[in-house]
Structure 1
Amino acid sequence: MSLHRKDTDSAFEGAGSKAGLEIWCIENLRLVPVPKSSHGKFYTGNAYIVLKTVLPKTGPAQHDIHYWLGNDTNKVDSAFASDKALELDAALGSCTVQYRELQGLETGKFLSYFKPCIIPVEGLYSSHQGHLNGEAYKFSLLTCKGDHVVHIKEVPFSRSSLNHNDVFILDTASKIFLFSGCNSSIQERAKALEVVQYIKENNHGGKCEVATIEDGKFVGDSDVGEFWSLFGGFAPIPRDSPSSVQKQSDTSSVKLLWITTQGKLCQTGTDSLNKKILETDKCYMLDCGAEIFVWMGRQTLISERKTSISATEDFLRTQGRSTGTHLTFLTEGLESNIFRSYFDNWPQKVEPKLYEEGREKVAAIFKQQGYEVKELPEEDCEPFINCRGTLKVWRVNGDELSLLPVPEQTKFYSGDCYVVQFTYPGNERDENLFYTWIGRSSVMEDRRDAISHMNAIVDSTKGDPVLAQAVEDKEPVQFFLIFQTFIIFKGGMSKRYKKFIAEKGITDETYDGIKTALFRVQGTSPQNMQAIEVDLVSSSLNSSYCYILQTETFIFTWIGSLSLTRDHDLLDRMLELINPTLQPISAREGSEPDIFWNALGGKAEYPKAKEMKQCIEDPHLFTLNTTEGDFKVKEIYNFTQDDLTTEDVLVLDCHREIYVWIGCHSNVGSKQQALTLGLKFLEMDVLIEGLSLETPIYIVTEGHEPPFFTRFFEWDPSKANMHGNSFERKLAILKGKPHNLEVPTRNSWKAYSRETTPDGLRSKSVISNGLGRSGSPASSVSGSNSKSSANQLFSSPTPIVRKLFSGSPHGIFIR
């Protein structure tokens, strides 16, 4: 079987087998491959097909197809591009998402492939064109809009083209001028400097001067005088008239239309949208105002899909819709997060059959052609930091913290809360990592005090440590790696826990080393192994694990039929830690003696199917904007370290944990506020992946990024040692100035969180770590007693806090 079939263009042979970009230009109604040296150079008279292939660490290849239409592209080429995009989708097993990209109105995802920008070229592409020489250098005036991806548009070379809101680049034969409108953002100006650098390297061979012009600055700068002389002398720029901002459509105006095989649009006649409406043998159009999706069922023919696309384009024309309306084409089973968000209760997991049909088909094709098709690798459990650092663990015990002796600091109780400090050698200094660990059966007061106590310790610690919260059963891998060996017992040692169960008449099940107990053993290596005490019943068993069953007189090791050899080694090691005195009796699944089942209260059903490992997708980066009380999230595609702009707060969503990164010049005043933003992000669940409010949250500050964060980037340490705002930093690089200047020491977390008492003394600071909050996200509490301060923080919990602490009516989590 070959990827090239009768109905597939030969230009697509082998397409999508390697990660990266593949681009074809439509020339004389045929597909011409565009060499890598010309990627990002688009001619206004042509249409292009762009295929982006991502090969994630786990899971199948991901493909996005974009067809780009220049402003001067004729209708025949436009239709041809649309058809070829569908043809390529079919060749890849109908497992792609397709986007229509119009010149000047491209999606952020498309622009992210071509950093720093796309500057369309007038005319037509020719695969045989030569270089033009002897022509005078053409002046051009460009507008730059955007902070992480930038839209470039050439405007008439006239003073009237300038305004106070945008950033402009004037490209002349000997000098490039950057003009920043007084109302433009620092991030936009910084991004425009990247475009200036791009123009300098590509249009001038790196040899030309660069001048920056500030809007409103007219005196004492020769560059300013030269800039305005090119426009015939200075004259004031008129004030901008209020622009008519197009309101975004809300879900109430979203319409779902069925597209018939004849190309007619029929409304579904339902107000609420549910996935069950979408039938696998039909195509639908979801009209969201500024964006339109075409959903194509798995059992639809290519001819029907072509009809649905042309019907949608006709709809846009006849309705007089904005040329900026984005068109996205989705195949059943590959719906984007945005599309799914318009439907009520979209199932979290896509049906495996729908997803794997095309994947298996394509894998078979690639194998036959000699390409390597990898199986899912083991999850990455590399520590990334030196795990031989110093560990300190405190248990919350009433109003106090009890420092645990070293032999006991890897043994936690589900009814307790703990504060963990891990100090490890970093680059030129020791680094600190703090966790609050919340047991599922712990009482509310202990949870509050854990947060209060952790922040009191952090406040007395030098540097800017990383903070994190971890709830039992939701711990991040990094947490286990610093402990290496970790045991969770039932019950609790806290005074409050003991008091609570006594008052409620609950039997104290706290493990004492003697009573009967069942432990599940898990982990990946001797540096990452855990034993978790589970309910003493047969249904707690699972064929994928190994277990230790201890009674007063004997101890069993139980080996599940689906467990690995590695698990058996961990079982032996854990046995030495839990009870090294009794001689173990080994029992393999299916050959257990009656005494084994009697200890568990009798034989019962338990999970025997292979535990399927969930594919962990690559991380996603988002900007968080909280202007005027609105919480807005925007994804940054194909992110790099340069996207960590010092004015921003960003969230790196790694699915099993999230990192809130705080720039030194951001408007976030405390780590309390940062954690509140992290919880708000979890509540929104932007990727529609079922994130729990108990997902671990790390708070990372600029200049103090730990290796387990920087591993997601191609990290250049010198970029983390620069000062100034984004624009000043980029300008220093552009002008070749040394940029190994350190970030100003930011102890402002403490400055923001402290209050001055009437006698002028500094009081203790209490920064909520997100498990409990005051009513205001950035509020700080003063007081000599950290416990009472923590109670103030919890006096008016937000809805997010209530959700996170939902459990029994008594404020205790029940397993």
Structure 2
Amino acid sequence: GRAFGFMPDHGQNGIEIITQYVAKPGSDEIVVSTVPFDEKLPLLGFASYVLTYNYEANNGDTGRLTYVWHGVNASAAAKKRAFEEGLVGSKDGLLVQTNQGHEPRHFYKIFKGKLLTSFTALPVTAQLFRIRGTVESDVHASEVAADSSSLASSDAFALHSGKSHKIYIWNGLGASAFEKQAAVDRFSDYWDDVELEQVEEGAEPDEFWEELNGEGQYDRSLGDDGAPLLESRLFHCLLSSGGLLKVEEVAQYEQEDLDSDDIMLLDAGDEIYLWVGYGVSEEENAKLLDMAKLYIHLEPTARSFDTVSIIRVPQGKEPRVFKRMFPNWDDNYWQ
């Protein structure tokens, strides 16, 4: 489920650098490397990344936003280091922690429709990428298991064998024109000598299915209904000295229910906002993720800590998407 969806602006601005965190094999030592940002830079599943973006909304809302992205196979030590450094670097700006395959749409938009996320750096076996988006600027290619069950008629896919530099572009019956075009654009320069072959759903050559463990069942529905809109819910989070979390729901909440001395949790479905009051201590701030983890664990839905984005919002820096979840919002309320 989702509420409004995190979209502080249209992702129109650029990013200068991105920092990668990778654990050295067999140790907890983290290799940190900072590289110039390139929209085509693939994000790798064994790493965590931190990038900072300055948002500018049409309504004049501006601010600093730090994303911490975790790959599905990133080590716990790499995730911890990336989050800690992201938290320090974000200062009094927004901080979003998100996971591979569950990124908010705004994250795709800052990559201008060119984002590619993969499990490994160098393919040794077949790799399958799903290309999907709602508009040209949020199309993204994400690696999925190289099996026919991963296909979906509503999207385009790119498959390469790992044996040669040939890539099949598979066009699902329900794939949009811009998804098909994005697949070609994104993979036409994957290697210097790449060979692209377009494959229409229903007219696949035998070699295509051989790479995917044979033809099998997959999702043939043509529409993407999206998650249902949910009512957002507000909770007061209190951490006892013994580390116990007490979460109290605030019924029919309003802006005045936000307590400047505490952390408040706003559950918006796919995204969980942690609002940090002016009076919150460094110690409490450092336990933000623990609060979110405990809350998700206690909350009876099918979500997990790996499928939601966690967004830290400092008091006084609330983006419009956060304010919209309150019946009334007064920017001068705390002045």
TM exceeding 0.5? yes
Is the alpha carbon distance of 1:692 and 1:414 closer, same or farther for their aligned partners in structure 2, counting shifts above 3 Å?
Answer: same
State whether structure 2 residue 231 is matched by structure 1 residue 599: no
Partner of 1:383 in structure 2?
Answer: 7
**1:487 maps to which of 97, 112, 116:** 116
**1:708 maps to which of 299, 321, 324:** 321
Deviations 1:213-250 (A, max 9, x none): xxxxxxxxxxxxxxxxxxxxxxxxxxxxxxxxxxxxxx
Query: In 1, Cα distance between the equivalents of 2:293 and 2:99?
Result: 13
Query: In 2, Cα distance between the equivalents of 1:483 and 1:382?
Result: 16
State whether structure 2 residue 53 is matched by structure 1 residue 422: yes
**2:234 maps to which of 590, 608, 621:** 621
Contact 1:559/1:568 (<8 A) preserved: no
Contact 1:424/1:431 (<8 A) preserved: yes
Is the alpha carbon distance of 1:540 and 1:692 closer, same or farther for their aligned partners in structure 2, counting shifts above 3 Å?
Answer: same
Q: Percent identity?
A: 24
| Number of equivalenced pairs | 317
The one-letter amino acid of 1:578's match is: F
Partner of 2:168 in structure 1?
Answer: 556
Partner of 2:135 in structure 1?
Answer: 525
Partner of 2:42 in structure 1?
Answer: 411
Is the alpha carbon distance of 1:430 and 1:511 closer, same or farther for their aligned partners in structure 2, counting shifts above 3 Å?
Answer: farther
Query: In 2, Cα distance between the equivalents of 1:533 and 1:676?
Result: 29
State whether structure 2 residue 96 is matched by structure 1 residue 468: yes
Residue 708 of structure 1 aligns to a residue whose secondary structure is helix
Query: In 2, Cα distance between the equivalents of 1:432 and 1:382?
Result: 14
Higher relative contact order (CA 8 A, sep 6+): 2
**1:579 maps to which of 188, 209, 221:** 188
Residue 606 of structure 1 aligns to a residue whose secondary structure is coil
Residue 527 of structure 1 aligns to a residue whose secondary structure is helix
**1:433 maps to which of 56, 65, 87:** 65
Query: In 2, Cα distance between the equivalents of 1:684 and 1:441?
Result: 25
TM-score, normalisation: structure 2: 0.81
1:219-258 equivalent positions in 2, closer than 5 A:
none
Deviations 1:281-304 (A, max 9, x none): xxxxxxxxxxxxxxxxxxxxxxxx
Which protein is richer in helix relative to its size?
Answer: 1
Which protein is richer in strand relative to its size?
Answer: 2
Contact 2:6/2:104 (<8 A) preserved: no
Q: Rg larger in 1 or in 2?
A: 1
Unaligned 5+ segments in structure 1 are 1-56, 59-378, 493-509, 723-815
TM-score, normalisation: structure 1: 0.36
Query: In 2, Cα distance between the equivalents of 1:649 and 1:525?
Result: 35
State whether structure 2 residue 167 is matched by structure 1 residue 539: no
1:206-221 equivalent positions in 2, closer than 5 A:
none
1:252-271 equivalent positions in 2, closer than 5 A:
none
The one-letter amino acid of 1:490's match is: F
Query: In 2, Cα distance between the equivalents of 1:644 and 1:409?
Result: 40
Deviations 1:635-683 (A, max 9, x none): 2233232322323421100111101112223567442123322222122
Is the alpha carbon distance of 1:627 and 1:583 closer, same or farther for their aligned partners in structure 2, counting shifts above 3 Å?
Answer: closer
Deviations 1:689-741 (A, max 9, x none): 22312222111111111233223234332225x1xxxxxxxxxxxxxxxxxxx
The one-letter amino acid of 1:705's match is: E
* TM-superposed deviation, 1:539: 2.3
Is the alpha carbon distance of 1:642 and 1:573 closer, same or farther for their aligned partners in structure 2, counting shifts above 3 Å?
Answer: same
Query: In 1, Cα distance between the equivalents of 2:19 and 2:281?
Result: 33
State whether structure 2 residue 313 is matched by structure 1 residue 682: no
Deviations 1:154-183 (A, max 9, x none): xxxxxxxxxxxxxxxxxxxxxxxxxxxxxx
Contact 2:18/2:34 (<8 A) preserved: yes
Unaligned 5+ segments in structure 2 are 25-29
Query: In 2, Cα distance between the equivalents of 1:380 and 1:663?
Result: 23
Residue 404 of structure 1 aligns to a residue whose secondary structure is strand
Query: In 2, Cα distance between the equivalents of 1:699 and 1:382?
Result: 12
Query: In 2, Cα distance between the equivalents of 1:442 and 1:665?
Result: 33
The one-letter amino acid of 1:623's match is: H
